[in-house]
Chains A and B, each alone.
Chain A
């Protein structure tokens, strides 16, 4: 018995020690995040901090605080303004762009910013024989595919020669792929540059703890206004519910991409919700080559039959607005605000279907489980299915995981489906229609026109807008294009997403940009 008593006493001791430990724990955990250090809840671990190597908005959110490009988007718009270039001249024929660079700028590692540095950046990305091309791959280098040569005119002047006029060039330079890296840092770190980044931005890189945090600190030698916080910490939290819990518990100060259904939890004091419409459009590709949607009246009927108001208000809880045409209103300068969305009118839809003799047509509808910019694709898909069935179609949904879905949809819908969900976020009004609505962009020609829409006038307008160097002229051409496309209805225009973020009441001066990039220079945390 003696032995067993000893064991029992031992057990009690262990239990008491465990209790004491647990009791001691809370005092450490409720410690608040420090002032001056902004903690941002991200949706994933970044791939790399090399702007030329990454493609995800998640990574761009960090990059735009570390780096700058020759141009940038004017705050609150998608119009281009000078950044590391102070100005530029475009040749008459639109193929030569000469930039004057900002003097007195240095990269975080001390390398001077000059024309040689700019040339190094673009040659590294575009020239396969460049000694540092192997620090890639550079998946979005085709953004600058039109660049034939980059020349150093003098120390502070650089000239790009394009193989053809390409109006989106300036806005592509403002896109994160155009952010400029320190040549010396690339030479020093090679393929590991992405983990040892050096740019010219208001923050400089401090540390990257894999799967825990990327930390950036204020750059005290920044040429512009200094950053408002000492440091920013980006935490990857892939699970949306956990991200919401962290925000509620005070573990993060800013949360992006809040799920629509969770927004209600942040209605009270202590939190602020920010929303910003961006260059996003969510649509249904209709197969205009075969089946019922080969008839324009049936395509229009689908636009009338779907209750888009209900989708944006009920399924998406007001985190989107109804789309009117192929160009999102965020491109204010190119948007045709005379266009009204197709109204929800099931009677008109039924009449058009009857006129086309497509009553009871069977439709195969490709739906994805989720993906970049796809919002809430399954509930949206079933709502659409119900509306189309109410108008007299017979809709069968096929659901695919995102990468599989792209593999099915991008090569074209012919022989497989009548319609498919799709969403795009772009930085220039040229990109989406040029890649997805021209007859020269059918899948067999390397484009994304998976529904085989073709209209000569649209082709002409898009080519003309691409080579025009005058913004007003481009805007006029895009507005005309939108009118024609809306009437032809190659897509069902469904929604334009509003990006959202929640901030705690300790965060001030926070704002979202229409570009969806997260500029944190001006933000203050108390």
Chain B
């Protein structure tokens, strides 16, 4: 097992290097440079040239790439132009916020999705199945940002139950209830689509397992139905559900971008959008590399978890 993990980690290195090259090239090649973005109306060629020199952007591209890569290997992600602080501080702070949001949403969608899928499968074509399918299809179809805005209008503006946006209250907040208060709406809005997808796939995975012989054997032995479903069937179905969870975790992370904008959650997605619009090269590059590294590690973790669950998968 240790060797397998090590092998997977080593194979991640070229992936990460590829990511650094792609994000660097994209940011360098898209039209519009940081100096123009900073100067706006005052971007005369002369001013742009001077500012580019001050920002260290007058060197050739290849040289800039290796300087950036070399600095990153020593842990120096550079300084953001648009926020005037070290990239790594900003990314870590923002990533923490995104993890809280996406993590909550991921737990919500996994638990609710699997639960809904199992109930649906156990009661195939029954009332519960139909009701769940109906709700789940709505969840899949409504865009999350729209759902978010509607939730804000209903629960924050009209009912005034929950705060509109942000992560903590500006005054007198900062504790756990305050955080939960701000987390409820964005986490639900973010979890909606993934819950639907997981529910649909859990349902079909369960149905497939429930048709198999060992389930019939278990039932024939007189094992209680609840244990057949939760113990025997779900455990077998998890092998095909877990990869879906892994993929959905990626979707939840990327979906967080819209939700973070709608709810002004100070996460890494909103940071990247702002940084791209401001052509904050180092912040975009550092942020993308960091998120990509986390995603790669997460995928490895999912594969390892799967191989633990299913001994047939070679390690």
In the assembly, what is the distance between CA of A434 and CA of B279, in Å? 28
> Residues 434-462 of chain A: 1 if any B CB is under 8 Å from the residue's CB, otherwise 0?
01000000010011100000000000000
Q: Is the CB of A403 within 8 A of B84?
A: no
- Kindly identify, within residues 162 to 217 of chain B, every residue whose CB is under 8 Å from any CB belonging to chain A: 162-172, 177-178, 180-181, 184
- Which chain A residues border B271 with CB–CB below 8 Å? 211
- Kindly identify, within residues 14 to 56 of chain B, every residue whose CB is under 8 Å from any CB belonging to chain A: 30-33, 35-47, 51, 54-55
Q: Is the CB of A245 within 8 A of B164?
A: yes
- Kindly identify, within residues 352 to 406 of chain A, every residue whose CB is under 8 Å from any CB belonging to chain B: 371-373, 401-404, 406
Tell me whether A92 is interfacial, beta carbon within 8 Å: no
- Kindly identify, within residues 132 to 174 of chain B, every residue whose CB is under 8 Å from any CB belonging to chain A: 149, 152-153, 156-157, 160-172
In the assembly, what is the distance between CA of A446 and CA of B279, in Å? 22
**Nearest chain A CB to B28's CB is how many angstroms away?**
14
Contact of A37 with B171 at beta-carbon distance under 8 Å, contacts A140-B42, A242-B152, A446-B44 already known: yes
Q: Is the CB of B45 within 8 A of A242?
A: no
Tell me whether A53 is interfacial, beta carbon within 8 Å: yes
In the assembly, what is the distance between CA of A33 and CA of B94, in Å? 26
Closest to A370 in B: B277
Q: Is the CB of A25 within 8 A of B177?
A: yes
Q: Is the CB of A142 within 8 A of B170?
A: no
In the assembly, what is the distance between CA of A274 and CA of B237, in Å? 61
Q: How large is the interface on B (under 10, 10 to 19, 20 to 34, 35 or more residues)?
A: 35 or more
Q: Interface residues, chain A, CB within 8 Å of chain B?
A: 1, 4, 21-22, 24-26, 28-31, 33-34, 37, 39, 44-45, 47-48, 50, 53, 55-56, 136-137, 139-140, 142, 191-192, 194-195, 210-213, 233, 235-239, 241-242, 245-246, 248-251, 371-373, 401-404, 406-408, 410-411, 424-425, 435, 443, 446-448
Q: Which of B43, B264, B274 makes the CB contact (< 8 A) with A237?
A: B264
Q: Is the CB of B163 within 8 A of A29?
A: yes
- Kindly identify, within residues 60 to 107 of chain B, every residue whose CB is under 8 Å from any CB belonging to chain A: 79, 82-85, 90, 93-94
Q: Is the CB of B181 within 8 A of A33?
A: no
5 smallest A-B Cβ distances: which pairs? A403-B32, A211-B266, A137-B54, A404-B31, A48-B84
Tell me whether B224 is interfacial, beta carbon within 8 Å: yes
- Which chain A residues border B171 with CB–CB below 8 Å? 33-34, 37, 233
> Residues 240-270 of chain B: 1 if any A CB is under 8 Å from the residue's CB, otherwise 0?
0000000000000000000001111010001
Tell me whether B226 is interfacial, beta carbon within 8 Å: yes
Q: A246-B165, A407-B31 are in contact. List 7 more A-B contacts (CB 8 A).
A: A25-B177, A142-B42, A142-B47, A213-B170, A372-B40, A401-B32, A408-B31
Could you show 29 A-B contacts with beta carbons less than 8 Å apart?
A26-B161, A28-B178, A39-B170, A44-B274, A55-B42, A137-B54, A137-B55, A191-B79, A194-B84, A210-B90, A211-B93, A212-B167, A213-B170, A237-B165, A237-B264, A238-B261, A238-B264, A239-B264, A242-B152, A242-B261, A242-B264, A245-B156, A251-B165, A372-B41, A406-B32, A406-B40, A407-B31, A407-B36, A424-B41
Of listed B157, B168, B170, B274, residue having the most chain A CB within 10 A: B170
Of listed A21, A236, A248, A424, residue having the most chain B CB within 10 A: A248
Q: Is the CB of B177 within 8 A of A28?
A: yes
Q: Interface residues, chain B, CB within 8 Å of chain A?
A: 30-33, 35-47, 51, 54-55, 79, 82-85, 90, 93-94, 149, 152-153, 156-157, 160-172, 177-178, 180-181, 184, 224, 226-227, 261-264, 266, 270-271, 274, 277, 279
- Which chain B residues border A236 with CB–CB below 8 Å? 264
Q: Is the CB of A248 within 8 A of B157?
A: yes
In the assembly, what is the distance between CA of A140 and CA of B48, in Å? 11
- Which chain A residues border B33 with CB–CB below 8 Å? 403, 407
Q: Is the CB of A45 within 8 A of B165?
A: no
Q: Which of A22, A211, A403, A435 makes the CB contact (< 8 A) with B37?
A: A403
In the assembly, what is the distance between CA of A523 and CA of B247, in Å? 52
**Nearest chain B CB to A70's CB is how many angstroms away?**
22
